[in-house]
Amino acid sequence: MERQTFPVVGMMCAACSANVERKLRSMEGVSEVAVSLPGRTAMVDYDPDVVSPEDMQREIAAAGYQLIIDKETDVEDIHRRAFEDLRKRMILSWLFTAAVMLFSMHWLHLGSTLLNHVVCMILAAASMLLCGRSFYVVAWQQLKHRSANMDTLVALSTGIAFLFSVYLTFTAAQHTWFDSTTMIISFVLTGRLLEERAKNGTASSIRALMGLQPKTAHLVDVANDSVSDVPIATLQPRDLLDVRMGEAIPVDGVMRSGEAAVDESMITGEPVAVPKQKGDKLLAGTIVRQGNLRMRAQQVGSETVLSSIIRMVQQAQSSKAPVQRTVDKVALIFVPAVLGIAIVTFVVWMLVNGDFQHALITAVSVLVIACPCAMGLATPTALMVGIGRAAEHGILVKDATALEQLHRVDALVTDKTGTLTIPNTDIAASDDLSFQEREALKPHADEAVGMLRKMGIEVWMTSGDREDAAAYWAQRVGIEHYRSKVMPQDKEDLVRQLQSNKHSVAMVGDGINDTQALAAADVSMAIGRGTDVAMELAQVTLMGDDLRAIPHAIKLSRQTVRTLRENLFWAFIYNIVCIPLAAGVVPSIHITPMWAAALMAFSSVSVVLNSLRLQLKKI
């Protein structure tokens, strides 16, 4: 099995992402799919011997969307051009709306009501063709595949309002609904523009990480000791590179010569520049703050640590929390359900008062006000911001499930050596040395434990060390519960014992002897400088040695889940309240199609903006 994350162009609502996911999941050879609406990505687990990315691309193209499989494609440029096109269509649509209002309200009178209506009809048709054409194209493609999305609702509502208004125009009616047709298009486009701008904000952490990668590198020609600038994509292992003060190191490698101090804060979280000498490891994206150096490239392209971090964050942001699975199922049936409600609304009003115009326009309002977008954006936008903020603080979350589970943690088990303490490598091991001489407490370890206890989390320390050493370090760091002389099985047993006592347990470790406990824990956390095995098992990786990242991760998880629940509450309440109001359940409240469009746009934007508030909260 292979896992890849593909950018997807053209998704606008929850029904869109649900349709893309359904199409991919139905393909033979595809085992798992997670489509992120705000991330505009599809993470796919598939068997390359059965299905290829080209097959997936064709399937998604037939449904009206674009799956980007060429890694050289500038996806950001595609989204940038799409955003600019959306902005132009939105501005033009408001110009058409203003013109239609001038004539429909008779602020400009052409001598006869019929002539005013005809001008409004022409302007509305132009708005539909030039500004809203994508609604009708996508709705038709969805219909051909027996699917429906937000574009279906917009196309139906504006199409019905327009055709009914054409009928009214030529039957000497005094009022038409061309203004509602153009207003719906304008409000929907405005909502999407604001939504896209806000969604770009949720992906800011990925862009910040990508911004750490330089575009070019200074390649040294060993034969004549000349230096030339080359694209970073052309670099190969063993290339000799020149890196100057103030520049980012282009790839992972080893220092060969020079004197330099390197800022590795993007990996370690420590803002202090680290002196480097010949033979020292250098990582892509870290900054040379002092001096100049030459290095030998080792890992290039997608093999660098920075690329791995970006890939992990992208996959985490594309993954789905358990609650999102339920929302996706709702989104798939939401649009057909709304169509059914609109038909029932029309029939009921025809039976109640026989007023065809009132019944039709009320049904149109129901179509317009329903909003699957808010539901679809509620969970992933909060998770994207939360996972992105975690990455900015050196906390790499493997998937959305881990971030959601982390907020429930009320007990934490931590290894001692390598996690709470640092072994003293400058002295030889000897029985004559005291345990205080053999190791030192990590910076901020006692502060981190204090923060965890204030958060109501019970902290346990495990150690293979003898009783007096374990007691000393537990007391130094402020941990009440500890176990000494433990074996790997004992750590797992402690985790399971706490779980049997109804605790949700996080395990923090750094070595092979922690892997059993990490696998058993509800949430597994590894120190970034630990073994590859521990980091592979861990759902959360803490880059650097600052243990305050542990309470920060839990606090951020709590903030994210709280925001996610707020989003879901308001998204569902919006539809539960607004759809009946639009249907005329409360006779004193009459929501016209254009006001329905305004409310629909507001609901989507408000959910994304609420998620963006996470970026302002302290952790």
- Residues marked as catalytic: 415
| Residues 6+ away with beta carbon under 8 Å from 267 | 283, 285, 286, 305, 394, 528, 543, 544
- Cα dihedral across residues 196, 132, 604, 371: positive or negative: negative
At residue 164, φ and ψ (nearest 5 deg) are -65, -35
Closest CA to 388 of 560, 264, 522: 560
CB 222 within 8 A of CB 297: no
CA distance 425 to 267: 22
C-beta neighbour count of 362 within 10 angstroms: 22
Report the distance separating Cα 230 and Cα 2, nearest Å.
32
Residues 53/8, Cβ–Cβ less than 8 Å: no
Query: What is the spatial distance between Cα 219 and Cα 576, in angstroms, rounded to a whole number?
Result: 62
CA-to-CA dists, residue 156 to 52, 104, 358, 484, 566, angstroms: 36, 22, 17, 69, 31
DSSP state string for 217-247: EEEEETTTTEEEEEEGGG--TT-EEEE-TTP
Helix, coil or strand: residue 486: coil
Nearest to 336 by CA among 369, 367, 376, 359: 367
Strands (E), 268-403: 274-276, 281-282, 287-299, 395-397
